[in-house]
Amino acid sequence: MPRHARTHSRQNRAGRANHPANSGAPNHAGIHLLRDPSVSARMVSSSGAGPGDLVIELGAGLGALTAPLAATGARVIAVERDPRFVAKLRRRFAGDDGVRVVEADARTVMLPHRPYRVVANIPYAISTALLRRLLDPETTSVAGADLLVEWGFAKRMTDTHPRDLEVAWWQARFELGIAGRVRPGSFRPAPSVDSAHLVVRRRADVSRAQARLARRLLQDAYRQPRRPARDVLGAHVPKKRAHRLLTSTGIDPPAAASSVPVTTWLALAGELTAT
């Protein structure tokens, strides 16, 4: 056998042996399989999935979340990119009409047009890309998501004064909260940091007009964070009304725009667009 071919086949054998689909051995691809059934149970219960619901699971692995999701009676589409996991998932759920296993990349897979929920233990490296996809109100019908993400990432997503306008905008359209902290020992192999159960729910009561105005207010506030809040709001309503509205929400009108929480901008947009 040529030298390069021998090396290659040794690498392939090693790759197969190390793959968590086969051995559960440590890996460096962000594949931390859930081993604590109480975490899966909490996520599934929090999602509210039940008969008649459509649930998309992203990065299904060996099915630690797929199985309890299917047990709720919901229709589950389990998306998994790795063909070795896909083969195992297809064998495991062969007799279950409620589960469809799709081999695809979660970042590009077609998402349904009708309302659906997402439940996922996703690789940390693609958390932002997935949220960007799921929470873009123009392209998604997602009703809510229960995600396991890195603890620090969850803190940034739920900060009342997020650093990025994009996160502020997500918060205006969706409620984002942390349901619990998940220790490394709940996964195999254990990651080096804590994780969080991030809960995302669409704000059903936000009208299009309110969302549009909230977006403009947030854009202005993030572009000019030191500008007085009364001036940011005053660009849309007479100054006196801006002053009154801010005072009624507990904001000192000359305060910097950056000191106003996202939910207050949203409420102000609601006041101004209410019919």
Ligand X SMILES: C[S@@+](CC[C@H](N)C(=O)[O-])C[C@H]1O[C@@H](n2cnc3c(N)ncnc32)[C@H](O)[C@@H]1O
59 annotated ligand-binding residue: yes
CB of 226 to ligand X, least distance (A): 40
Residue closer to ligand X (CB basis): 84 or 216: 84
Residue closer to ligand X (CB basis): 121 or 158: 121
- From the list 172, 127, 151, 159, the residue with the least C-alpha distance to 30 is 127
User: Residue 222, Cβ neighbours under 10 Å: how many?
Assistant: 17
CB of 177 to ligand X, least distance (A): 20
Residue closer to ligand X (CB basis): 29 or 235: 29
233 annotated ligand-binding residue: no
Interface residues with ligand X (CB under 6 A) are 31-34, 58-62, 64-65, 79-82, 85, 105-107, 121, 123, 126
CA distance 100 to 103: 10
Residue closer to ligand X (CB basis): 75 or 173: 75
CB of 238 to ligand X, least distance (A): 50
Q: How does DSSP classify residue 190?
A: P
- DSSP states along 6-63: HHHHHHHHHHHHHSTTTT----SSS--EE--HHHHHHHHHHHT--TT-EEEEES-TTS
CB of 212 to ligand X, least distance (A): 32
Contact 117, 53 (CB under 8 A): yes
Residue closer to ligand X (CB basis): 60 or 272: 60
58 annotated ligand-binding residue: no
103 annotated ligand-binding residue: no
CA distance 10 to 116: 44
For residue 187, list its beta bridge partners.
Answer: 34
Binding-site sequence positions? 32, 34, 59, 80, 105, 121
Binding-site sequence positions for S-adenosyl-L-methionine? 32, 34, 59, 80, 105, 121
